[in-house]
Every structure is written in structure tokens, then in C-alpha cells.
């Protein structure tokens, strides 16, 4: 498991399960879902597309969201992103 | 550094793309010096299609295209062939290190359709232009061949169309945004992870040993196999994706991969330049409509398919079934182009010159022109990034005013 920080993390409010979907769909769905959250709410994105490591966190930051955690667990990657 | 730390940092955690692409640029320059050819994959995939046709009783060796790219021997006798086997070994070891091999089956039939159709269009376009993201872009531009610049610009345009198409409702599978109160439990099996890591290390060592033995009897083939192992390791561990470099400029305004590739080519170009000064002949192809048309088709196809030739290689061994279909499509499309080449080439390729920038502008001039063009490409990417986010900020403030 790989954590980007070790401070206690807020629980997610919503989940987007993108397992089985290839690029660019996980990143696009993430960018479409985030505006539907209220400011401060947290989205959990679960993806088994390894390529998402180079797009979901970068896109989320570029589009003004805060990436709280990236957890790489074998073939599955979980992203916690705050609006 | 302790083994656990090394394992976590280098074998499990993904590598950042920029240093990995620079390393691929350096390695591809060495590869050119060691083998006299550039890092390329689609030509060899086309030969595989040729072998399949031979097996079925056809005689593709009499076709003009196979006279250009040659069809002698088996993959084990060819530089490209052993290099690609090395890439597969490198990709598979790299995926096994991180327990990242998993059968990922597409959930929807439309994904298989887009994989095969996109793969075919990309395979056809790449071979029409005499190269893919490698030979006509990442390793073609550092060969100072004008056709690679035509191809790169056309690929950017084709990928723009592709990005429009893949976002059509037809290709969008609805995903529910589910309210939750706690994180989902991730649980990889630690026993499986440890076993896969050992398997990956074993495969890596076994291939390196084979390549080492081969180097003693056939130095060029053995060293090409080593380079392939390195390329495979780099593209999987860093998830280097040429498709996303083009596509995501248009979709999300992300420029990270595009910038990294431009820097990688700038590093590579100086290396290949030095070898050409020492007398190694660069690989130059027709700078004609074939490169432009091929680039547009290729750019569209890779975005529809979700990956290019190098992209499907590592994704296929990670168990992403979608990319098995892309690979099949690529080989079909490339073989189709080979079958039609004798009708197409006299119109679209052969009447046009093979332009070597080092000849047109002189050696130093050609190098300078290449760096100026790379600087221009970087400036265009930076401009686009600013434009993309400025436009987005404008549209969101407009939406707020209306609300």
C-alpha cells in the first residue's frame, strides 16, 4: 500500500467505481462527478486502470480540486479527492 | 537503502513519467548507435501479419511493402523482433513486480468494437506513414526525418477528432455516483503479491540471462534484446502513454505527458545526431501525403482504441483484455495496408522526397532547426494549456452569473 500522507483522512461522501473502464473514461467521469459534490465533500474514485495514476490526480489538481490520498493496492488504485 | 524501501519505491510505486521518458530518449539513442536502427514496433507487427499470411498459403513476400520492410527469417533473427520480445518481457516483469497483472474484462461490447476498429485504423495509418508514435514521432523526429514532423502534426489533428468521437454518448457507459460513509476496503492478497514479485524478478533475470548469452554469439541481437527489456520496464513502470499526450490536451487540458515527450525527444536528438556524425545513416522516409493522411488516421485510431502500439503492449500483459483486441486490430490494419501498398504508394508516397533535415540544412543547421521546431512545439503546448484553462474559468464564471 502506498499512501501519500499519514494524517487521518476524512471519510468519502461519494464513490465512483470505475473498475473495468479504460482511459480516458475514469478521468473524464471523475471531472464530471466532482462539480456535483458540495464544496468540502470528498469523492472516492476506485480504478483498476493503471494509467489513471498519470491522469486522475493531475487532472483533479489542474481543475482546482484537492487530492487527499492516492492508495495503490496491487491492481487497484483509490483516489480521495476533495471538492 | 533497505530492500523493502527499494521494492516499495522502484518496483511497486509507479515511476514519474518525465524521468522515465528522458531515460527512454537516452536508451533509444543508444539503441540507434548499437543496432543502426530506431526503436520501432509497428513494422515488426506488420511482419507478424505477413508470417500469418504465409502460414495460410499466401505469398506476402512478393508484395512491395514487405520488400521495403523485409520479411526474412523469424522474429528471433531480427533486431526489431528480439527487441519486441524484450519489451514484452520487460512489461510483464514490471507489471508482476507491483502485482499489477489482473484479468480486466471489458464490461461492455462497445469497448471491444472501439478497440478493434480503432486498432485497425491506427495500424493502417501508422504503416501508411512508415511509423507509429515511435518511428514517426518519438524516435522519428530525432532521426531528423521531415516525415515525422508531418506525422506528428497530423496525429495531433486526428487525435482532436478522436477525442470528440470517444466522448459521444454511444461510448459513455453511465457510472453511478454512490453516496458512501466509509472508504471501500482494498485488499490485495499479500501472499499473491509476494509470489508475483518473485515471478517477475525471475522472468526479468531469465530474459537478461538469455540476452546476455545471445550477446556473446550475436552482439546486435543480444543488445537489442537488452534494450527491449529496458524499454518495456520504462513504459510499464511509468505508464508512458503517447495517446494520452495527444488526446488529453483536448479533453482535460493536461499537458504533462506531451511536455515530457518533447523533452525526451530533445535529449534523444543530440544522441542520434552524434551517431550520424560518426557515420551511422539515419532512417529517413517519404515526406508525402502518406505521412499526413497516415498521421490523421493514426491520431484518430489511437484515441478511439484508447492506446497506440506501445500502449497496448504493456496494457495487454497487465491483463487488460480490451488491449488484446487493440493489438489484434493493429496487426489487421497494418497487414491490410501492406496488401494495398502497391496501389497506394505510387500516388501517396513514392513520388515524394525522403527529406533528411541534416542534409537540407547541413548537419549543424539540421540540428538547430530540429531544436527550434521542438521549442515551437513546447511553446504551442504551453499556449494551449493557458488557453484551455482560461476558457474554462471564463465559462464557469459565466455559469455562476447566470445561476
Inter-chain Cβ pairs, chain A and chain B, closer than 8 A? 145
User: What is the pairing mode between strands A14-17 and A42-47?
Assistant: parallel
Nearest neighbour of B99 by CB, restricted to A21, A28, A74: A74
Report domain extents, chain B. 3-171+193-397
φ, ψ of residue B319 in degrees (nearest 5): 95, 15
Please tell me the distance from the alpha carbon of residue A78 to that of residue B219, in angstroms, as a whole number: 45
Q: Which of B186, B243, B257 sits opposite A76 (nearest CB)?
A: B186
Q: Are B122 and B329 in contact (CB under 8 A)?
A: yes
Categorize the per-residue pLDDT at B58 as very low, low, confident or very high, splitting at 50, 70 and 90: very high
B241 to chain A: nearest residue by CA?
A51
pLDDT at A1 over 60: no
Q: How far is B281 from chain A (nearest CA, A)?
A: 36
Closest B-chain CA to A79 = B183
B388: distance to nearest CA of chain A, Å? 11
ipTM score: 0.92
pLDDT band at B246 (very low <50, low <70, confident <90, very high): very high
Residue numbers of A annotated as active site:
23
Q: How far is A32 from chain B (nearest CA, A)?
A: 10
Q: Which domains does chain A have, with CATH numbers?
A: 14-65 (3.30.110.40)
**Which of B173, B183, B322 comes nearest A44 by C-beta?**
B183
Task: Give dist(CA A39, CA A42) in Å, integer.
Answer: 9
pLDDT in tens, B188-239: 899 999 999 999 999 999 999 999 999 999 999 999 999 999 999 999 999 9
Tens of pLDDT along A14-52? 999 999 999 899 999 999 999 999 999 999 999 999 999
Contact between chains at A22 and B256 (C-beta distance less than 8 A):
no
Q: What tens digit of pLDDT does each residue of B267-299 get? A: 999 999 999 999 999 999 999 999 999 999 999
**Residue B206: alpha-carbon gap to chain centroid:** 25
pLDDT at position B403, please?
64
SS3 A77: strand
Alpha carbons A71 and A9: distance in angstroms, whole number: 12
pTM above 0.90, yes or no: yes
User: Are B308 and B115 in contact, with CB atoms under 8 Å apart?
Assistant: no
CA B27 distance to own-chain centroid? 15
Task: Identify from A3, A10, A35, A54 which residue to disrupt to test chain B contact, counting B C-beta atoms within 10 A and taking the largest count.
Answer: A54
Residues of B in contact with A63 (CB under 8 A): 252, 392
Element (H, E) at A68: strand A66-73
Amino acid at each position: 500500500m502506498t499512501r501519500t500522507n499519514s494524517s487521518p483522512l476524512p471519510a468519502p461522501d461519494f464513490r465512483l467505481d470505475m473498475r473495468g473502464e479504460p482511459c480516458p473514461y475514469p478521468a473524464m467521469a471523475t471531472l464530471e462527478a466532482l462539480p456535483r459534490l458540495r464544496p468540502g465533500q470528498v469523492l472516492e474514485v476506485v480504478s483498476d486502470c493503471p494509467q489513471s495514476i498519470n491522469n486522475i490526480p493531475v487532472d483533479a489538481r489542474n481543475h482546482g480540486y484537492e487530492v487527499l490520498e492516492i492508495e495503490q493496492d496491487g491492481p487497484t488504485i483509490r483516489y480521495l479527492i476533495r471538492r | 537503502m533497505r530492500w523493502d524501501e527499494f521494492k516499495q519505491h522502484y518496483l511497486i510505486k509507479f515511476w514519474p513519467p518525465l524521468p522515465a521518458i528522458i531515460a527512454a530518449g537516452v536508451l533509444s539513442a543508444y539503441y540507434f548507435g548499437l543496432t543502426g536502427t530506431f526503436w520501432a514496433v509497428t513494422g515488426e507487427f506488420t511482419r507478424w501479419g505477413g508470417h500469418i499470411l504465409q502460414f495460410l498459403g499466401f505469398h506476402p513476400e512478393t508484395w512491395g511493402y514487405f520488400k521495403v520492410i523485409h520479411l526474412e527469417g523469424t522474429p528471433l533473427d531480427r533486431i526489431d523482433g528480439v527487441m519486441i520480445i524484450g519489451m514484452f518481457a520487460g512489461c510483464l516483469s514490471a507489471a508482476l513486480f507491483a502485482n499489477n497483472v489482473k484479468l480486466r474484462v471489458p464490461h461492455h461490447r462497445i469497448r471491444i468494437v472501439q478497440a478493434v476498429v480503432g486498432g485497425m485504423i491506427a495500424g493502417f495509418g501508422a504503416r501508411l506513414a512508415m511509423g507509429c508514435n515511435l518511428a514517426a514521432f518519438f524516435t522519428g523526429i530525432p532521426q531528423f526525418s521531415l516525415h515525422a514532423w508531418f506525422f506528428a502534426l497530423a496525429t495531433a489533428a486526428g487525435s482532436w477528432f478522436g477525442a470528440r468521437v470517444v466522448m459521444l454518448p454511444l461510448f459513455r457507459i453511465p457510472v453511478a455516483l454512490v453516496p458512501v460513509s466509509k472508504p471501500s476496503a482494498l485488499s490485495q492478497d499479500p501472499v499473491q503479491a509476494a509470489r508475483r514479485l518473485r515471478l517477475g524478478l525471475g522472468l526479468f533475470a531469465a530474459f537478461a540471462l538469455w540476452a546476455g548469452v545471445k550477446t556473446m554469439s550475436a552482439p546486435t541481437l543480444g543488445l537489442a534484446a537488452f534494450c527491449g527489456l529496458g524499454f518495456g520496464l520504462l513504459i510499464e513502470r511509468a505508464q508512458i502513454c503517447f495517446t494520452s499526450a495527444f488526446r488529453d490536451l483536448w479533453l482535460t487540458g493536461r499537458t504533462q505527458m506531451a511536455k515530457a515527450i518533447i523533452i525526451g525527444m530533445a535529449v534523444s536528438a543530440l544522441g542520434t545526431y552524434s551517431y550520424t556524425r560518426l557515420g551511422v545513416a539515419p532512417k529517413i522516409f517519404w515526406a508525402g501525403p502518406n505521412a499526413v493522411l497516415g498521421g490523421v488516421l493514426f491520431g484518430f485510431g489511437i484515441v478511439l482504441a484508447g492506446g497506440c502500439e506501445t500502449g497496448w503492449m504493456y496494457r495487454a500483459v497487465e491483463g487488460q483484455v480490451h488491449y488484446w483486441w487493440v493489438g489484434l486490430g493493429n496487426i489487421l490494419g497494418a497487414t491490410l495496408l501492406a496488401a494495398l501498398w502497391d496501389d497506394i504508394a505510387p500516388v501517396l508516397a513514392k513520388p515524394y522526397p525522403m527529406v533528411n533535415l541534416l542534409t537540407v540544412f547541413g548537419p549543424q543547421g539540421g540540428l538547430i532547426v530540429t531544436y527550434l521546431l521542438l521549442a515551437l512545439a513546447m511553446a504551442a503546448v504551453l499556449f494551449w494549456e493557458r488557453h484551455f484553462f482560461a476558457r474554462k474559468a471564463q465559462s464557469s464564471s459565466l455559469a455562476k452569473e447566470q445561476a
